[in-house]
Every structure is written in structure tokens, then in C-alpha cells.
Amino acid sequence: MNVNWIAERFKNFAMLECEGSSKLYKTLALNIAEDEEMLKLSSNSKEGQPIPNLLFGAVHYLLLKKSDHQLREFYPSIVPYSNMDKDPFPYFKDFCLTNREEILLIVKNKLVQTNEVRRCAYLYPIFCYIYQKTEKPLSLIEIGSSAGLQLLWDKYSYSYGGNEIYGNKESFVHLTSEVRNGSIPSDLSNIPPVDYRLGIDLHISDLTNEEDYLWLKALIWPEHKDRLDNFEQSVKQFKMNPPQLREGDGVAMLNEYVEKVPKDSVLCIFHTHVANQMPEDIKSEFLQKVDMIGNRRDTFHVYNNIDDRKLHLDLYVNGSKQHIVIGDTDGHGRWFDWNLQPEVLS
């Protein structure tokens, strides 16, 4: 893997992902981009994996396992008061070289499967919208579900900058997000009924397994206390309502599982921040399969990261297809745009 290409990945990660969100990861990413030893270490990841997330997750994972290295002082997820007065990179590099073999084992074998539960804050109004327009219960198939936390969007509560709370008001999980551009539908009070839900992933993260649980926790950025709190609470909710999860290739298995979906329900296929890990030929095959399914039954496909970072909705109703760009979203669900107009399904 070309180190110059990897260096660009770290630079892009620093400026596009970390700016205004993580001073620690921005500082580290910009330094790694100029350090050949660190770039070579990062080059051992599987093809298609987001390399910065994988390396940072590996280091965070080892630190969470009670390492006493000085690097932990820069991680607010581990110590009450993190130290950003000093440059963290020398400590980071020393930790990586000291633990090189363990880090290599992780980056060669682990997958970035961040279960960012706050993305449900924009999934909830989409599924409400579909239910209001079709008046049928929903059947959910999530591709790249990881631990399945996003499959439980109807079990959480939500607010969007005002006093109104939507969704399941008895939930352990309360998610807040901002509508940056546009305005969401005025009526989100009725939680859509779900007849069927299934998550498919190459590797299912088992939240009852301590290693899997710790890895998902390590993928949460150290400064993001709200994300960590959301994760911990959603794990409690998951244990009360575990969805059906299947390990395997979601694209290859899609037709098989669509056949199990109740015929009198609305099929909703969705995935967020997954398609960027698919090779181009697999993306093309996936879209062709969804088109063919949409020719046979009403289908709604919710996704991002196929052609761009925006959130999209493809509607297949009575054999006719519409494509809607809903808008930009923050990768961690802190805000989203809403350009889905009421007349689309009228």
C-alpha cells in the first residue's frame, strides 16, 4: 500500500472529519501524515478499511485495556482531565512502537464497525415519513449492521433543538440532533410499527462478548463523552430488545432475506457509512439488486457513501423509481439537512 496515498488519507481525516470535533485526533493525524514509520505501520489494514479510524481505534483499544503508558493522559475517555498542553504525538508514536506487534494484529484483523447510534436521529424522521405516506408497517434490512444498534431506532427517544420529545419516551436512550437546513415533518409523534428487522454484516459484533464490546467502545473518539454515553445506554436497550443479526455478505445474501419479509409490509433497506468500504463492482451489483427488488415490490433504500457523502432515499413505488437527495449529515449524527418534501409520495 502506497505510503503517499495513506498520508493523504490522514490529512483528509484531519481536515474533513476532525476539524471542530477532535483536537487530539486532528493533531495526531497531521503528524502521522508526515511520519514514514507510522504510515508503514498503518499500511497493514485490510483493503477498503478507513485507515485512520482503524489505527486510532487499535491504540484506544489497548489503552482501554488498562495500559499505564503516559499516552493515556491525553485521552479524556480514560483520565478525568486530559493533557493537551503538551504535543501528544511523541507519546503516541512511542506507544505504537512499544506495542507494535499487538497493533499490527489488530489492524490486520479488525474491522471499523462504528455503531454511531445518534445517526438514528435522522433515520427516525425518514421512517416516520415512509410510514405516514404508505400506512403500512415497516420491514427493515440493514446492510453492515455491526452490533445492530441502529436497527432499534424505534426504541429510542429524540429531540431536535426544541422541547418536544419524539419516539419512545420510556427509552434508556435519548438522542439529540440539530436540523441544520430545512425542517423535519411536523408530525413525528406516531412511532412506525416494525414487522421485521434484520441486520447483516461480514462480522457481527457481539455486545455480550467483552472483546467485541471494548472494540466498539474504542472506535468512539476519546473526547466524545456524549457518544460514549449514548453507546452505553443503547447497549442496555439492546439487551432488552436484541434484533435478528446474521453474519455474511449482505449484498450476496440480500435476495435470500428479502424473500422472508412479510408481503404486506414496506421493505426498507438501509445503511449508513458502510458503502465507502465496498469495492466499486460490489456497489454496482448492490444497486442493481435493489433495482430488481424494487421492480417486484415497493421498496425504500436509505443510504449514503455510494457516490457521495450525502444521505439519499430511493423510492420504488408501483414499479416506478424516484431518487431524493435528503441532504448532508454529520458523520456522528450531531446535525443533518432535511430536503425531503411532503409531496414526494403524495
Below-70 pLDDT ranges, the chain:
82, 342-346
For residue 344, the model assigns a pLDDT of 55
Angle between helices 89-98 and 51-64 (to 10 degrees): 80
Grid cell for residue 283:
456497489
For residue 36, the model assigns a pLDDT of 96
DSSP string, 220-249: S-TT-HHHHHHHHHHHHHHHHSPPEEEES-
Domain count, the chain: 2
Grid cell for residue 105:
494484529
The verdict on 338 and 238 lying in the same domain is yes
pLDDT (tens digit per residue) in 274-321? 888 888 999 999 999 999 999 999 999 999 999 998 999 999 999 899
Angle at 45 between CA 274 and CA 53, to 5 degrees: 55
Range of the domain at 313: 117-206+215-345
The verdict on 257 and 123 lying in the same domain is yes
Are 200 and 286 within 8 A, CB to CB?
no
Q: Distance (Å, rounded) from C-alpha 74 to C-alpha 93? A: 13
Identify the sign of the CA torsion 245, 246, 249, 250: negative
Angle between helices 280-296 and 250-258 (to 10 degrees): 10
For residue 2, the model assigns a pLDDT of 86
The verdict on 78 and 151 lying in the same domain is no
Residue 273 main-chain phi, psi, to 5 deg: 55, 45
For residue 191, the model assigns a pLDDT of 97
Choosing from 84, 109, 134, the residue where a domain stops is 109
The verdict on 100 and 121 lying in the same domain is no
Choosing from 109, 134, 157, the residue where a domain stops is 109
The verdict on 69 and 93 lying in the same domain is yes
DSSP string, 114-173: ---GGGHHHHHHHHHHHHHHH-S-EEEEEES-TTSGGGGGGGSEEESSSS--EE-TT-S-
The verdict on 232 and 103 lying in the same domain is no
Choosing from 88, 109, 130, the residue where a domain stops is 109
Q: Distance (Å, rounded) from C-alpha 335 to C-alpha 338? A: 10
The verdict on 154 and 196 lying in the same domain is yes
For residue 66, the model assigns a pLDDT of 80
The verdict on 87 and 125 lying in the same domain is no
pLDDT (tens digit per residue) in 243-286? 999 999 999 999 999 999 999 999 999 999 888 888 899 999 99
The verdict on 36 and 79 lying in the same domain is yes
Are 144 and 274 within 8 A, CB to CB?
yes
For residue 67, the model assigns a pLDDT of 78
- Which residues have C-beta within 8 Å of that of residue 288, sequence separation ≥ 6? none
The verdict on 75 and 130 lying in the same domain is no
The verdict on 232 and 199 lying in the same domain is yes
The verdict on 17 and 44 lying in the same domain is yes
